[in-house]
Amino acid sequence: MRRGRIGARTKLLIWLIMPSLILEAAVIWLAQSNTTSFLRQTQNSALDGMVVQSVRMMESQMNDLVLNVLGIEKEIVYGGTKPEDWIRTMETAVMTRPELVRGIVYLGNDGLVAGYPEYFWDSFADKEIGIIRKQTKDPNNGVVWSEPFSSTMGATGLNSLVSIVTKQVADDDGRSMGVLAFVTDVTNIVQRGAAFAGNYDTRTLLYDRNDRLIYSITIVARNSYETLEYAERNTETLEAAKSYFDRSGQYYVISDMKQAPYWKAVVVGDVKTLQNKYRPIVRFAILILVLGSAGLIVLYFAVSWWFTKPIVSLTRGIRHIARGHLNHQFEVARPDEFGEMAREFNRMMRTIQDLIETLKKTEEQKRQADLQSLLSQINPHFLYNTLNTIDIMVDFKGKDDIHRMMAVLIRLLKYGLDRTSVLRSLGDEMTYVKDYLTILSARYDNRFSFEVENAPPELASARILKLILQPIVENAVFHGLHSLTGRPGRLSVKAVRSGSDLIIAVADNGVGMTKRRIGELLRLRPSSRREGSEAGQERSGGFRIGLRNVHERIQLYYGAGYGLSVHSEPDVGTTVTVRLRIIETEDGYDGSSLQAASGR
């Protein structure tokens, strides 16, 4: 690679640095996730503290009520005042906490009834009177809270939950003087405690000492005074509520009151709302993750494309070359190792092309030499046989027959010695065969008849290799008809078209041959090109020069799919079929547009 240019390895290192940036983003996302988890835990801790404060708020309000009860008791026992003074003290207590204390009444054992407001004790029904008597039956009970119940004495009417707080009033000697009863609005106590939820959506549930649901309220953060009261079957008992919250994945905290009335407060936090506050952090982390993943994918494809593109290009080029396109050249557009490999490959292909061209020229020269060698073997053999026939005619025939035979010989020699082209028209070749059979018929004293059909007009101008039929008819006469006895010999030659091929059939009714001899007939042997005499031909069964030479010539020129095929039956006859390829043009068959196609 040339100096001053960035190599493939350096580029790879540059690309591999980029994933570290993505990994850093992933680390940031993990940090954000851990931060969110920490904030959520902190928030849960805050919710725990809020529950404790809410319960403490309820306990504080209840303690204030107890202090009021004890203060009024002291006024009754030690004040030395009249009931009117007690009522003013009761009024002060009620007016100080009107939302919590709905009314106060003193029921003396002597039948005295004093309270505030004055109509309040008239609202007591048998239910309320029964609760008071039950709670004050034992003078040692002290301050007793009743279980909350619905009453019209609450701040919200029929749906109000109230609790009656009672205290047995006794003198210094322990003798009972009467009962002091406070009516407390439990709904308001719970609402005030639930208000500590602040910015969270929470649900506060209050359970009595027997774990039964007293009251349930939901605080909506956007307006702390907007409440939704409800009671569900799943929260009727504390155990059922805990099971329900665990199944639904809600976060809850339970806090017990350490003093009377020993209720339990359960605050359920809206975790989904809490999580919504951290969604921007989560979205930011997800965004980093998505971008990081997309970046890694893009990076992978970029690196993969950068590396595999030249390799794929080389692979496609090699396949293109394998299909025979040896002139294919790879595009060289890169200054790195891949570009250098492409340039060396192009140089190698140019060298291979030069070698192939040289080899083609050598093979062409060799093929032409082989054709000329085969022709040189046929022509002397043909001339020898023909002169031998004329020599015989001088002794037995008249002058006219000899002149006619000499004219035929002149035509044959002129046709055979014409070296201007190895291709002649089918019509000329059929005429040459007819003249040649005329000479052979005279040589064998007309012991056989022959018929050479004129080439069809559409095939007469088709150009084929010359002198390919003469050895075939010669072998048919010499090996098939010469030894025939008992019937007159016949020989026929005709040409037909079969698709894009030209078929020439030479048939005789001679002695025929066996399948074994047919198998040996066209088997190529190196010695077939070294023997040219008729004697040698006879010693090898007549196939050293004749049919084998023709078969070799056809395959050299047209290819392996063409040549001679032989069908023969003993005492029936032999048919030699010549298959050549022709080319058809839109102009039909003529000397310039149609020829037997070479395999080149």
Contacts of 160 (CB under 8 A, 6+ apart): 150, 151, 152, 153, 154, 185, 187
Element (H, E) at 576: strand 573-581
48, 55, 83, 244 from 252: Cα distances, Å: 9, 14, 49, 11
pLDDT confidence of residue 576: 94
For residue 594, what pLDDT is reported?
A: 39
Distance, CA of 84 to CA of 106 (rounded, Å): 12
Q: From start to end of 109-236, where are the E strands?
A: 113-116, 144-145, 149-151, 160-170, 176-185, 202-207, 213-220, 223-229
In this prediction, residue 230 carries a pLDDT of 45
Residue 327 has phi, psi (to 5 degrees) of -90, 10
Distance CA 562, CA 547 (A): 14
When the candidates are 3.40.50.2000, 3.20.20.140, 3.30.565.10, 3.40.30.10, the CATH number that belongs to 358-581 is: 3.30.565.10
**Neighbouring residues of 419: CB distance < 8 A, sequence distance ≥ 6:** none
pLDDT in tens, the chain (600 residues): 445 556 555 565 566 656 666 676 677 667 666 776 776 677 677 777 777 777 777 777 778 778 888 888 888 887 766 788 888 888 888 888 777 788 888 888 888 888 888 776 666 777 788 888 888 877 677 788 888 887 777 766 666 788 888 888 888 777 888 888 888 888 777 777 666 655 556 778 888 888 888 877 776 654 444 444 444 678 888 888 888 888 877 778 888 877 777 788 888 876 555 556 666 766 776 777 667 667 766 776 677 677 767 777 777 778 877 777 777 777 766 677 777 777 887 888 888 888 888 887 887 777 666 656 555 555 566 567 667 777 776 777 777 877 888 888 888 778 877 777 778 889 999 998 998 888 778 777 788 899 999 888 888 888 888 888 888 988 888 888 888 888 889 999 999 998 889 999 999 999 988 888 887 776 644 433 333 334 334 434 444 456 877 888 888 888 888 999 999 999 899 999 999 988 544 444 433 333 444 443
**CATH superfamily, region 1-297:** PAS domain (3.30.450.20)
pLDDT score at 22: 67
The domain locations on the chain are 1-297, 358-581
